Structure 1
Amino acid sequence: MLKIKSFVFNMFGENTYIVWNAGTKQAAVIDPGMHNAAEELIFDSFITENKMRVSQLINTHMHLDHIIGDNHVKSHYGVGASAGKADAFFGEKASTQARMFGMPLDPEPVSIDIELKDNEKIDVCGEEVTILTVPGHSPGSIALYFPISGWVITGDVLFAGSIGRTDLVGGNHATLISSIRNKLFTLPDSTVVYPGHGPSTTIGKEKRRNPYLS
């Protein structure tokens, strides 16, 4: 079974995840949000201390708080970024996003090297993971379902007791609700939800208690 570690980075309190296989030390990075040298050091030190080999970089979506560390991971570990194609324009306009959010940064563009599609199966550290397209927060949002580990990494689509905002470019409230109900809520109730911000939850808890989905 795989292991998962979360870090909270940048001024938006974004959850950056490292998923790894304890046996092979193979690791995947999901949504790297490191925005300065101090956060990069925390991230890199964890990988070094645990003797991991980073082999994948995956973005649930391409909003700046989730991709600001992409170019560091790409250059430092020699991997390309995987994400939904419909979010490519966000990565291309990383500096525009920084200005829009008032971040004192001028980030380089972030390109998608590998496009991920709905219901595609990919290998993540030895486990077959299903890609679920879940637009609404952004047009290219995806979730990563780990059926053996019993997790789903949802980005900014579903949170503990909340849902993603839909007032940004490409957002749509009705589409978001449909994505949650028709994709995420079909997963087993015991599935642990690892969101883009805030604490983890489960699919069952959100079905019963999420006020935005009742």
Structure 2
Amino acid sequence: MSARVDRVVTAGVFTLDGGTWEVENNVWLVGDDEECVVIDAAHDAGAVAAAVGDRRLVAVVCTHAHNDHVNAAPALADRYGAPVLLHPDDRPLWDLTHPGRAPDAELGDGEVIKVGGVELRVLHTPGHAPGACCLYAPGAEVVFTGDTLFAGGPGATGRSYSDFPTIVASIRDRLLTLPPETTVHTGHGASTTIGAEAPALPRWLAEVAAR
């Protein structure tokens, strides 16, 4: 049976470094008809819960801890009794949004999350944020990249805790090594494929060298 992948689009505000921006976020649910994980519980716990329905929620997985990706995570997790998972390097960002509520467990590079017959492999991909992670499901030929890789290139690196050379290295070493037909489900906007984005790597490397 192929993986069940659902998308919920939620809207709200991204806040960092004293600025605020209106954003729409992709919230991804992965599993089957009995259980799922939620990747990036953004803005509206009720809307995400409606998509979970009566399935067992195995975990709320955070690709990184910018507020627009984690602001609904505790409410959703508490509603289902599920743990919130976050890479420890992103704890300073998490604490900006949830200073009184720690994540329940740490995401580690190479860890495998099993849900509904799907295996999600954790790939630590710093750059957009120090603890940014992607989740690769080889059996489903899909990777969930949060804000690390989009249709059109790397995620933003112009704010605190981010670094352009680091994100390019993460994409080169951890993502562009995946099969080119792998579908890339992103944190915002349209999906893409590894093969569609790979040809731009020389341009990104040239930009790194020019800095």
Is the structural similarity TM-score above 0.5? yes
- How has the CA–CA distance of structure 1 residues 160 and 44 changed in structure 2, closer, same or farther, with 3 Å as cutoff? same
User: Counterpart of 2:40?
Assistant: 31
- Give runs of ≥4 in structure 1 deviating > 6 Å: none
User: Counterpart of 1:82?
Assistant: 85
- How has the CA–CA distance of structure 1 residues 80 and 196 changed in structure 2, closer, same or farther, with 3 Å as cutoff? same
From the two aligned structures, give the one with the greater strand fraction: 2
User: Counterpart of 1:69?
Assistant: 72
Return the TM-score normalized by structure 2: 0.85
Q: Percent identity, aligned pairs only?
A: 32
- Please tell me whether the aligned partners of residues 172 and 201 of structure 2 are also in contact (alpha carbons under 8 angstroms): no
- Please tell me whether the aligned partners of residues 45 and 73 of structure 2 are also in contact (alpha carbons under 8 angstroms): no
Shift in Å, 1:83? 1.4
User: Counterpart of 1:126?
Assistant: 117
Stretch of structure 1 that moved more, 143-152 or 202-211: 202-211
The one-letter amino acid of 2:32's match is: N
Matched residue SS, 1:88: helix
- Please tell me whether the aligned partners of residues 162 and 211 of structure 1 are also in contact (alpha carbons under 8 angstroms): no
- Please tell me whether the aligned partners of residues 189 and 203 of structure 1 are also in contact (alpha carbons under 8 angstroms): yes
| Mapped pair 1:115 → 2:115 | no
* Structure 2 spans left out of the alignment, 5+ residues: 13-22, 206-211
2: CA distance between counterparts of 1:68 and 1:80? Answer: 15
User: Counterpart of 2:164?
Assistant: 173
User: Counterpart of 1:3?
Assistant: 4
Matches within 5 A, 1:29-68: 29-34=38-43, 39-48=44-53, 51-68=54-71
Shift in Å, 1:44? 2.2
Return the TM-score normalized by structure 1: 0.84
| Mapped pair 1:16 → 2:19 | no
| RMSD of aligned residue pairs (Cα, Å) | 1.8
Which of 124, 132, 135 lines up with 1:144 in the alignment?
A: 135
- How has the CA–CA distance of structure 1 residues 109 and 7 changed in structure 2, closer, same or farther, with 3 Å as cutoff? farther
Shift in Å, 1:210? 7.2
Shift in Å, 1:212? 5.5
Shift in Å, 1:40? 3.4
2: CA distance between counterparts of 1:69 and 1:53? Answer: 18
2: CA distance between counterparts of 1:70 and 1:81? Answer: 7
- Please tell me whether the aligned partners of residues 91 and 109 of structure 1 are also in contact (alpha carbons under 8 angstroms): no
* Structure 1 spans left out of the alignment, 5+ residues: 95-106
User: Counterpart of 2:17?
Assistant: none
